[in-house]
Amino acid sequence: MRHFVIAGLLIIVVTFLTYFGLNAAHLMPVEASAQSLPIDWMWDLQVKAMSFLFALIAVPMFYSLVVFKRKKNDTTDAEHIEGNTRLEITWTIIPLFVVVLFAYLGAGNLADTIRDSPDAMIVKVKAFQWGWNFEYPDYGISTLELYLPVNKAIHLKMESSDVIHSFWVPEFRVKQDLVPGRVTELRITPTLSGNYKVRCAELCGTGHYKMEQPVVVVDKAKFDTWIAEQQVLAAQAAATPEGRGQKIYESYCIACHSINGSAGNGPTWRGLFGSQVELADGTTVTADDTYILDSIQNPTAKVVAGFQPMNFKYEAAGITVEQLNDILAYIKTLK
């Protein structure tokens, strides 16, 4: 009995030390959404369970190695012990009960995180290789950064134009895949003003590592001001073909093509129009209207030397033929 008491006390001590040690490591980022509260509560409960299970396994093992090790020159056989049916039933039923309990608690947490709000603001999210675009249908604008008002329920309706992506803001905790051909949904209620980043949590190609964009949570007054500014900018951009082309570039093309002369996953657009372009097959073409439009519509037909063929499908991204001409007009301004 003495050994059981000592081992039991050691299990309690190691459990607490393990739990507080893991908490001190700050494994989770700051809580910044209403959904993070039940998720972090569930996580904390699991850390406590893991700390106890670790102690329950490690303490008896090391205690036995130290206390019951074979004495020097002891060559006798160890005591033969038969199986214990009562013990085996106990350690089967208790874990089963714990697993069912965690499943029940997890289902409740999931219901809390996906519960809709009738006054939620809808934001449409478009993912593509390799960037994000955010549309606010109630305000008629689209941007490259996700601006959200604090303490306001947000209903994200998300689509992918090419491959599977995954929307993830670590401070919000929740995560959701974006699947081509489907609209997936995610509900967020930001509770902490600040600057965050949305990241793609699904390996989606060579540019996956840089598929992140700003998420800004502000109070309602600052959000309303930002909306008004974006509406003015959208109206100005819509007035000219090159302005519309710039908005399309910022929404879909910026992930691969720079406008400052630096190389990315694709060639820069700076000084492109009218230049001589060397192709991967050794030939050279002039970057005129026909070449640029053909390269957007069929990016694998004339691959620029030093770059890999791209698989961008402008129709799948929702870009019209008229908008292709707007892009061309914008490229002509990049001298």
Q: What is the pTM of this model?
A: 0.73
- Give residue 114's pLDDT: 84
Q: What distance in Å separates the CA atoms of residue 106 and residue 164, rounded to the nearest whole number? A: 26
Checking if the pLDDT of 152 tops 90, the result is: yes
**Phi then psi dihedrals of residue 76, to 5 deg:** -75, 160
Q: In the structure, what pLDDT confidence band is assigned to residue 25 with cuts at 50, 70 and 90?
A: confident
Give the amino acid at 63: Y
Q: What distance in Å separates the CA atoms of residue 285 and residue 279, rounded to the nearest whole number? A: 8
Which domains are delineated in the chain? 2-59+90-114 (no CATH), 121-232 (2.60.40.420), 240-332 (1.10.760.10)
Query: Where is pLDDT greater, at 172 or 117?
Result: 172
Q: What distance in Å separates the CA atoms of residue 293 and residue 190, rounded to the nearest whole number? A: 42
Q: What distance in Å separates the CA atoms of residue 222 and residue 193, rounded to the nearest whole number? A: 11
Q: Lowest-confidence range among 23-37, 58-72, 300-314?
A: 300-314
- Yes or no: say if 165 and 211 are a contact pair by the CB < 8 Å rule: yes
Checking if the pLDDT of 159 tops 80, the result is: yes
- Give residue 168's pLDDT: 95
Checking if the pLDDT of 150 tops 80, the result is: yes
- Give residue 293's pLDDT: 83
Please write the tens of the pLDDT for every residue from 48-105. 999 999 999 999 899 888 888 777 777 777 777 777 888 889 889 998 999 999 999 9
- Give residue 224's pLDDT: 93
- Give residue 246's pLDDT: 81
- Yes or no: say if 149 and 223 are a contact pair by the CB < 8 Å rule: yes
Q: In the structure, what pLDDT confidence band is assigned to residue 327 with cuts at 50, 70 and 90?
A: confident
- Give residue 285's pLDDT: 85
Q: What distance in Å separates the CA atoms of residue 330 and residue 274, rounded to the nearest whole number? A: 13
Tokens coding 283: 């030939």
Query: Where is pLDDT greater, at 182 or 233?
Result: 182
Tokens coding 127: 């993912």
CA distances from 174 to 5, 166, 192, 201 (A): 43, 11, 15, 11
Mean pLDDT of the chain: 86
Q: What distance in Å separates the CA atoms of residue 317 and residue 160, rounded to the nearest whole number? A: 8
- Give residue 177's pLDDT: 94
Checking if the pLDDT of 193 tops 90, the result is: yes
Radius of gyration of the chain (CA): 29
Q: In the structure, what pLDDT confidence band is assigned to residue 148 with cuts at 50, 70 and 90?
A: very high
Please write the tens of the pLDDT for every residue from 260-295. 777 667 788 888 888 888 888 888 888 888 888 888
What percentage of the chain has pLDDT greater than the value 70?
A: 99
Query: Where is pLDDT greater, at 21 or 252?
Result: 21
- Give residue 104's pLDDT: 92
Q: In the structure, what pLDDT confidence band is assigned to residue 122 with cuts at 50, 70 and 90?
A: very high
What percentage of the chain has pLDDT greater than the value 90?
A: 34
- Give residue 202's pLDDT: 92
Please write the tens of the pLDDT for every residue from 209-257. 888 999 999 999 999 999 998 888 888 777 788 778 888 887 777 777 8
